């Protein structure tokens, strides 16, 4: 049996690491070949993940990135099809909701190769989001839809997908927390030093971890300015209610470009700005931070898995159970004061209690592999 896995962005590298560990633990290393589309081409957002997480080196690196959604998806589809024709795998596996995911799914389905979608069924119900479009289309061509939550499985049933194609497996990101969390703590001094964050080495130092990359925030001058202004206000104590808090902001390449274009660099002076960080450093910061402020889909869930409250800078989220539980709150960043108010409220959230196992037991990869071996062979 041969399984081809398509990845292209940071969240997919992390999920692929957990699944690859499950394959290797069974002595089945030859089962999987990885195709890297190149969607994330920065070394700290791509190559370093493979090194740190023990993911097998990609058999193919397509080198496609930096273009528009349509251009990227079209070029990926063409190149992935060439690989599929050469390799003739038993199935193609994709993760999440990126352009790489959709391109892989379409290419395989056109060749009648079964598509396996891990993290299926998530819905923000905002059809304008490229991610929402990608995951809906991928789910409907997939032969096997692995859902991280009951809500995700219910979404697919409502959309008319056959229940025999739906599998409730838990969330593969819970696996990565189990596999890598303690390892990151053991390397804390080294990781923080390399990131220029040695000042945060003390576990008693409170701080906020922030990320901003979504087009809906970075492409709008007003929203991006509101987000950065709010983070500066918090870091400089220009608001009542809590002491100033250091803010760590790893800058996504697209965000950096927009900050330069809009001439908003002056808002970064009081923040701890870093390049995009490797996964081990991010998981360490997630575990130690007082609060995560993000517009990322996956980071909302990673914050919860590491016991940290979160604010999501969006009107909606696909991880609705986090909002219901209180661990995550939504705020549209139309003005800085609303963001600061949300930060103040969420810093008061009591995170000391037990967390419900919303995303399974940390062994989703094994459940997924079991079903693939049963259904595809």
- Our measurement of the distance from residue 312's CA atom to the centroid of its chain's CA atoms, rounded to an integer in Å, reads 13
Distances (CA, A) of 15 to 46, 87, 170, 251: 13, 23, 13, 22
* 140 is a catalytic site residue: no
Distance of alpha carbon 151 from alpha carbon 156, whole angstroms? 9
Residue 78, both tokens: 């063409």
Cβ proximity of 208 and 309 under 8 Å: no
In the block, residue with structure tokens 């990845």: 7
Distance of alpha carbon 167 from alpha carbon 175, whole angstroms? 17
Within 150-296, where are the H helices? 150-158, 172-186, 188-194, 215-218, 221-236, 253-262, 279-288
What three-state secondary structure class fits 206?
A: coil
Fold agreement (3-171+360-376, 180-347): yes
Distance of alpha carbon 342 from alpha carbon 349, whole angstroms? 11
Cβ proximity of 181 and 264 under 8 Å: no
What three-state secondary structure class fits 123?
A: coil
- Structural domain spans, the chain: 3-171+360-376, 180-347
Residue 289, both tokens: 């931070």
* Paired sense of beta strands 272-274 and 115-118, if any: unpaired
Give the total residue count for the chain.
Answer: 377
CATH 3.40.50.2000 fits 180-347, yes or no: yes
What three-state secondary structure class fits 44?
A: helix
Distance of alpha carbon 238 from alpha carbon 168, whole angstroms? 46
- Our measurement of the distance from residue 234's CA atom to the centroid of its chain's CA atoms, rounded to an integer in Å, reads 25
pLDDT of residue 317: 94
Q: What is the mean pLDDT of each run of 10 residues along the chain (377 residues)?
A: 92 90 93 88 58 83 85 94 98 96 98 98 93 97 97 97 97 94 92 93 91 94 98 85 89 93 97 92 95 94 96 95 96 96 94 88 96 89
pLDDT of residue 67: 78
* pTM of structure: 0.90
Closest to 104 measured CA to CA, from 128, 133, 82, 120? 82
Cβ proximity of 92 and 113 under 8 Å: yes
Q: How buried is residue 182: exposed, middle or buried, by Cβ count under 10 Å (0-12/13-18/19+)?
A: exposed
What three-state secondary structure class fits 232?
A: helix
Q: At what angle do helices 297-305 and 10-25 cross, to 10 degrees?
A: 50
In the block, residue with structure tokens 């800078």: 313
CA torsion sign for 280, 175, 103, 37 is positive
Architecture of 3-171+360-376 per CATH? 3-Layer(aba) Sandwich (3.40)
Distances (CA, A) of 341 to 317, 344, 348: 19, 5, 11
Name the active-site residue from 36, 40, 213, 252: 213
pLDDT of residue 278: 86
């Amino acid at each position: 049996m041969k399984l081809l896995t398509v990845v292209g962005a940071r969240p997919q590298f992390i999920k692929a690491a957990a699944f690859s560990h499950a394959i290797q633990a069974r002595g089945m290393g030859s089962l999987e070949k990885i195709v890297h589309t190149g969607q994330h081409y920065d070394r700290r957002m791509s190559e370093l993940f493979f090194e740190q997480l023990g993911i097998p080196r990609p058999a193919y690196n397509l080198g496609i990135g930096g273009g528009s959604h349509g251009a990227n998806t079209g070029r990926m589809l063409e190149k992935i099809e060439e690989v599929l024709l050469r390799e003739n795998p038993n199935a193609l596996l994709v993760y999440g909701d990126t352009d790489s995911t959709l391109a892989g799914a379409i290419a395989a389905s056109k060749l009648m190769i079964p598509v396996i979608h891990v993290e299926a069924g998530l819905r923000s119900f905002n059809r304008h989001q490229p991610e929402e479009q990608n995951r809906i289309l991928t789910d409907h061509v997939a032969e096997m839809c692995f859902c991280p939550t009951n809500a995700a499985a219910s979404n697919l049933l409502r959309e008319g997908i056959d229940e025999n194609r739906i599998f409730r497996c838990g969330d593969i990101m819970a696996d990565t927390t189990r596999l890598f969390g303690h390892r990151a703590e053991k390397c804390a001094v080294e990781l923080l030093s390399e990131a220029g964050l040695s000042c945060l080495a003390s576990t008693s130092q409170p701080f906020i971890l922030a990320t901003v990359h979504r087009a809906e925030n970075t492409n709008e001058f007003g929203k991006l300015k509101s987000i950065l202004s709010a983070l500066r206000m918090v870091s400089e104590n220009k608001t009542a209610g809590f002491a100033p808090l250091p803010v760590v902001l790893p800058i996504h390449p697209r965000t950096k470009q927009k900050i330069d274009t809009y001439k908003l660099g002056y808002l970064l002076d009081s923040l701890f700005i870093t390049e995009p960080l490797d996964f081990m450093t991010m998981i360490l910061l997630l575990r130690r931070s007082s609060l995560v402020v993000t517009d990322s889909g996956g980071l909302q869930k990673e914050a919860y898995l590491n016991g940290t409250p979160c604010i999501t800078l969006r009107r909606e989220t696909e991880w609705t159970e986090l909002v219901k539980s209180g661990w995550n709150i939504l705020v549209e960043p139309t003005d800085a004061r609303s963001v600061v108010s949300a930060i103040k409220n969420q810093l008061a959230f009591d995170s000391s209690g037990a967390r419900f196992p919303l995303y399974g037991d940390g062994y989703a990869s094994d459940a997924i592999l079991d079903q693939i071996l049963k259904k595809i062979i």
